[in-house]
Amino acid sequence: MSKLRVAVIGAKGRIGSEAVRSVEAADDLDLVATLGRGDPLEALADAGAQVAVELTHPDSVLGNLEFCVGHGIHTVVGTTGWTPERLDTVRGWLDASPGTGALIAPNFSIGAVLTMRFAQQAAPWFESVEVIELHHDNKADAPSGTATRTAQLIAAARSEAGRPPQHDPTTHGLDGARGADVDGVPVHSVRLRGLLAHQEVLLGGTGETLTIRHDSLHHSSFMPGILLAVRTVPTVPGLTFGLEHFLTDGPGAADGSAATGHQGA
């Protein structure tokens, strides 16, 4: 069977360089192009890339994605900084390129995907919920894509369960002291040298609290998810938001076996 032809954009970055090594090590994938800042995107088409992995910067991702979708290259995107408006723009490009797939994943690590699911499950049962995300000191966006998505899922779960908005008792305080408000959920961002990517979801009820914590200790934590996404995205046209939509085949899928998914966006 012929190998899937894969390119990595942002190949010299922290996660991009790890993705390059993982694609190279995969027997069923052929690394045909690695692009850094300033490299022409035409190299993707020239190399015959079937899937591009996009791991750059919120300022670069839209241009890269527009090129890939326009050239029928399926794309796996880990870059963060997504808004509903940006997602709508990508949907427009995909509509004009039928058969092309794009997965945008706020987080490729299985633990982070499960954290989001557990938080969604727990959220309706507690009066209070806040998210704290902690990252390395070079991160461009705040809150993190994962924390934003987590808060959105929490807010949706609470609203579906008929829970009223959380009460914030603060009447005196400094601006920012209560974090960013994401759909009514306070999200606090810590940036600290030595960290990689960490998140806590704090839930509080009568006489009890529940803390759901996830730690990515190394960029290898994102690799099984990226490889799964690379293998799956050619089979799922249109926009999928969130790796969970590609995890429908259970734990084995994230170990490298092929999985089929459904559209999540």
Ligand X SMILES: NC(=O)C1=CN([C@@H]2O[C@H](COP(=O)(O)OP(=O)(O)OC[C@H]3O[C@@H](n4cnc5c(N)ncnc54)[C@H](O)[C@@H]3O)[C@@H](O)[C@H]2O)C=CC1
Active site residues: 135, 139
Residue range at the interface with ligand X (CB under 6 A); choices 6-14, 43-51, 123-131, 228-236: 6-14
Is residue 9 a contact residue for ligand X (CB under 6 A)?
yes
Is 12 one of the annotated binding-site residues? yes
What's the N-to-C CA distance of the chain in angstroms? Answer: 31
Q: Is 221 in the site for ligand LZUJQKHR (CB under 6 A)?
A: no
Q: Is 254 in the site for ligand X (CB under 6 A)?
A: no
Give all strands (DSSP E) within 70-176, no chain letters. 74-77, 101-104, 128-135
Q: Is 80 annotated as a binding residue?
A: yes
Confirm or deny that 71 is annotated as ligand binding. Answer: no
Which residues in 100-119 contact ligand LZUJQKHR (CB under 6 A)?
106-107
All residues at 6 or more sequence positions from 130 whose CB lies less than 8 Å from its CB, including other chains: 179, 185, 186, 187, 188, 201, 202
Q: For tokens 């807010």, name the residue.
A: 155
- Which of 197, 228, 233, 243 binds ligand LZUJQKHR (CB under 6 A)? It is 197
Q: Under DSSP, is residue 101 helix (H, G, I), strand (E, B) or coil? A: strand
Determine if residue 235 is labeled as part of a ligand binding site: no
Give the contact letters, 65-104, x = binds to ligand LZUJQKHR (CB under 6 A), - = no.
---------------x------------------------
Task: Please give the residues from 127 up to 186 whose contact with ligand LZUJQKHR meets the rule CB under 6 A.
Answer: 135, 139, 144-146
153 vs 156: CA distance, rounded Å: 5
Would you say 111 and 214 are in contact if contact means Cβ atoms under 8 Å apart?
yes
121/253 Cα distance (integer angstroms):
23
Closest distance of CB 183 from ligand X, Å? 20
How far is the CA of 264 from the CAs of 35, 236, 242, in angstroms? Answer: 28, 10, 7
The entry of ligand X, ligand LZUJQKHR, none near residue 135 (CB within 5 to 8 angstroms by kind) is ligand LZUJQKHR
Question: Minimal CA–CA distance to 102: which of 144, 73, 145?
Answer: 73
List 82, 93, 108, 241, residue binding ligand X (CB under 6 A): 108
The residues, ordered by sequence, that sit 6+ positions from 155 with a Cβ below 8 Å of its Cβ are: 182, 183, 184, 185
Binding site for NAD(+): what residues are annotated? 10-15, 78-80, 105-108
Q: Where along the sequence are the contacts to ligand LZUJQKHR (CB under 6 A)? A: 80, 106-107, 135, 139, 144-146, 197
